[in-house]
Chain A
Amino acid sequence: MTDRALSVVRAGALTTVQDRGRPGHAHLGVPRSGALDGPAAALANRLVGNGPDAAVLETTLDGCSLRPRSPVTVAVTGAPCRVRVDGRPAAWGGPVRVRAGAVLDVGPAVLGVRAYVAVSGGVAVEPVLGSRSTDLLSGLGPTPLTDGAVLPLGAPAGVQARVDVAPQAGPPSELVLRVFLGPRVDWFTAGAVRRFLSGVFRVSPASNRIGVRTTGPELERARGEELPSEGMVLGAVQVPPAGTPVIFLADHPTTGGYPVIGVVHADDLPAAAQARPGTAVRFVAARGRGGF
């Protein structure tokens, strides 16, 4: 068969198509979206010889199974998991050849949350506003994978990487997130800011692609009034009336009306997206640029 497509044998709990997202449309209410663990998605693309803008699959906790209709090279990165081709063990974090009709099984995450599956040629669903990413807040992009669905693949562009397994940092057992205070730190009491920077929070099971919700010490406000809606950025730590922080991830709303106490350093967000419910989270003041 020369049919460049992937059949979805087992979609998993939540598997979506992701690339580098659709930044530049926030003024229209369009979230940026894109792979939550960008470095893992980029590595998967490099391993199979794809360019950085190729779309990959992002799984959630329990992996997925796929059957390519033509021979492909795949790579699984991100959350460590067992990889099998027709039941035989294959490399995680390295290029794997899969013949037409064989079943690639990406097993449940042993650590972390999200595994990335790159396929040579990339997932070639129709882009929306320049991106193939599924945006779960606004519903833009392809729907999450379903059993039996067929995804088109692009033509392979490059050659697969000449490595067996690429090293990757494992998800941490405790998240330490560098945070730039503001823009609305003055909406909180001094005690709340102290607790924010010294307390231990935990990742809540209600977390998703929109944000990492946390439980922990309540951060009481110094001001009671409503904040008029304002623009939100990736990594913003918004504090809703319940008083525990939400860290905005790629599918975050573009405007919001709850005060943002701080913004997490962009380099710390992939780890945040890989943190399982229950993981301890600490916020530490970021040094250097920001908060100037």
Chain B
Amino acid sequence: MRTLPVGADALLVEVASGEEAQALHAALLRRRAEGSLTAREIVPAARTVLLDGLPDPARLAAELASRPVPHVPPRAAETVEIPVRYDGPDLADVAAHWGVGAAEVARIHADAEFRVAFCGFAPGFGYLTGLPAGREVPRRSTPRTSVPAGSVALAGPYTGVYPRSSPGGWQLIGTTDVVLWDHTREPAALLSPGTRVRFVPVASTGPAT
């Protein structure tokens, strides 16, 4: 674990893996809830956790160096189920990349147990880990100017669901009607870091567009 100063009141804690980042994030959230840590933002990412709005970042850095945050098993969070029609326009490309048939892509994806590693890109967009090793896919060589809301997509080791229509370079394998982000709802985000997710296949109602 390495702590890097970020400006006057933030720290970036770097760890060796995504799993460690998720565990560290869970532990830091717990410390904040207990009142032993003051931070305005605790932002997990691929290999880091950013702590922003710290009253004394140097002291926290020294403390983390001398007393590393213990790995705690993440609390047993509820699993969010996301019904998916595996009808995405890149299903065949992903199938070819994995060397399997299109139906097999759906099976592999729906069998996996996902966790939201971190969020970013857009409000409510989660980077989900959990696909078996070796199932990484590259981004599309040419990003789409518009990806429809509800698109279930893959890039690198991650799965994501587009909360709203936006440009995007991920491989689209399916569609969901679930609302990922609704600011009038509490909580607004369906997925937040640490949330467990399963994708549940449902019958396609029509051809992919």
Contact = CB atoms under 8 A, between A and B. Distances in A.
Contacts of B192: 27-28
Interface string A24-51: 1111111000000000000000000000
B120 interface: yes
Given A128-B183, A230-B45, A255-B43, A265 B6 contact: no
Interface in B3-27: 4-10, 12
11 contacts: A23-B53, A25-B123, A27-B43, A180-B5, A183-B4, A228-B47, A253-B120, A260-B6, A289-B8, A290-B5, A290-B57
B112 interface: no
Contacts of A266: 7-8
B7 A140 contact: no
Nearest to A29: B119
Contact of A24 (B4, B41, B45, B127): B41
Residue from A228, A235, A266 whose CB has the most chain B CB atoms within 10 Å: A228
A292 B61 contact: yes
A29 B6 contact: no
Contacts of B123: 25, 28-30, 138, 140
A182 interface: yes
Given A23-B53, A27-B118, A228-B46, A233 B7 contact: yes
Interface string B39-75: 0111111111110110001100100000000000000
A254 interface: yes
A74 to B, nearest CB: 29
Residue from B42, B58, B122, B188 whose CB has the most chain A CB atoms within 10 Å: B122
B124 A233 contact: no
Given A233-B50, A290-B57, 11 more contacts: A26-B43, A28-B189, A229-B46, A230-B12, A230-B47, A255-B43, A263-B8, A265-B8, A286-B8, A289-B8, A292-B58
Contacts of A183: 4-6, 12
Contacts of B61: 292
Range class of the B interface residue count: 35 or more
Given A26-B52, A129-B188, A183-B12, A235 B7 contact: yes
Nearest to A228: B46
Contacts of B199: none
B46 A230 contact: yes
Nearest to B10: A233
A233 to B, nearest CB: 5
Contacts of B121: 29, 253, 255
A240 interface: no
A278 interface: no
B5 A29 contact: no
A140 B183 contact: yes
A175 to B, nearest CB: 17
Interface in A243-289: 253-255, 260, 263-266, 286, 288-289
Contacts of A30: 123
Residue from B46, B49, B164 whose CB has the most chain A CB atoms within 10 Å: B46
Interface of A: 23-30, 128-129, 138-140, 180, 182-184, 228-233, 235-236, 253-255, 260, 263-266, 286, 288-292
Contact of B120 (A140, A182, A184, A254): A254
5 A-B pairs with the lowest CB-CB distances in the bound complex, closest first: A231-B50, A263-B7, A255-B120, A228-B46, A231-B43
Contacts of B10: 233, 263
Contact of A233 (B6, B44, B164, B188): B6
A27 B193 contact: yes
Contact of B183 (A129, A233, A286, A292): A129
Contacts of A290: 5, 7-9, 57
Contacts of B57: 290, 292
B183 A180 contact: no
A231 B12 contact: yes
B40 A27 contact: no
Contacts of A24: 40-41
Contacts of B41: 23-24, 26-27, 231
A189 B175 CA distance: 45
